[in-house]
Amino acid sequence: MPDRSAVPQAGRRDPFAPLLENPLAELFRQHVRRGAATHAVPTAGAPQPVTLYDDGRRRINLGSNNYLGLANDPRVIEAAATALRQFGTSTSGSRVLNGTTRLHLALEEELADHYGTEAAVLTSSGINANLALLSTLGSPGDVLLVDAHAHASVHAGAAASRGTVSRFRHNDLQSLRQRLDALEPRAGAVIVVDGVYSMTGETAPLQEIAQLCDRSGARLVVDEAHGLGVLGAGGRGAVEHAGVLGRVDAVTVAFSKSLASVGGAIMTSRAAADGIRASALPYVFSAANDPASVGAALAALRILRSEPELMARTRENAALLRTALSDAGVPPLAGRGAVIAVPTGEEEATATAWRAAYDAGVYCNAVAYPAVPRGKGVLRLSVMATHTGEQMQRAAEVVAAAVRQLRLPEERSVAVA
């Protein structure tokens, strides 16, 4: 293709400028040039507790969302292979045309049964689950009240709604209450939160939020991408853990975590599901989930429901890692579930700590702005049911050493003073 990177002539502004001059993209390029990139690290094998990376080294993997360890489970792999052989590599059409298979219907039925809802709607990703649901909610004059730290797809879906978006401060009930009180009396209201916040592992105060919904007549939507398979007696997430599942109007999930696949779903009432199927762009105009991913997710869901000990082991490993990190002098942020966040501060400090841990044999996620507020970077650690206690202890030692080295100049200056 010809070089089209030059600014258009005749004084016209370049509409590609936000891409070509993106400061975050330039920062990523700088990291790549320096050999210090923390993103898109290629692997050479499945996301196992100890994973083979493209540089030939094996590392303890604390950067995967494979919470139940099912992404390389032989039963899940065989279910994907069976679906592949029977239905082919692609549905080659949207759900409203030729893209529905018996597998899609079975997974929707079993997800709805798992959550105790009338219906479930599959989407091609967890992001599309939030886009499909939230973009179809609200009319002009209605308001979607969204936690400021909710997943980016929640904010994107809410922005596509015909209603107005109002962000409230993260996990701040007073901020939410003030926004509810300021609404026009006839305005429809939807409160949208993450059950478990993906970057920090914090949980939403769902009991209190459900009470606000009861008092104000607001609807409640909860993204359980990181709660499914981890929290709650049956693995239904923070909504079950908090005892509010029956008071939630819709739950969205992603299959790429505990269900060892790719895709998403919305669990809600039958009437709401019918409305999504009739009007949501990610459902109507997107090719249906490929058969192999549906087969894998269905097998993983059945394992989740029949083997609760996997969830118990995930929670035990998370508790062990939290304790080991605290004992090593780097206590993580308060939270529940499989996501554990160790504060690092500014972006460069986060990258430095990530590199030290990576070089010492532990892979985790370096999280900085815009995924978290500026100056609030973290090393994000995600545990699996299949990690061992020894791996948790070793990982805590490595991560703690990587984070503590950030404090050395400060500690030296205090000692001199």
Which residues are tagged catalytic?
A: 198, 226, 257
Question: Which of 139, 120, 161 is CA-nearest to residue 269?
Answer: 120
* φ and ψ at residue 161, rounded to 5 degrees: -70, 160
253 forms bridges with which residues in the sheet?
265
CB 283 within 8 A of CB 134: no
Q: Are strands 377-382 and 189-194 parallel, antiparallel or unpaired?
A: unpaired
Local structure of residue 8 (DSSP, 8 states): P
Q: H or E stretch including 51?
A: strand 50-52
Residue type, 244: V
167-173, Cβ contacts within 8 angstroms, sequence gap of 24 or more: 170/197, 171/147, 171/202, 171/204, 171/205, 173/205, 173/208, 173/209, 173/212
Residue 161 CA to residue 155 CA, distance in Å, equals 10
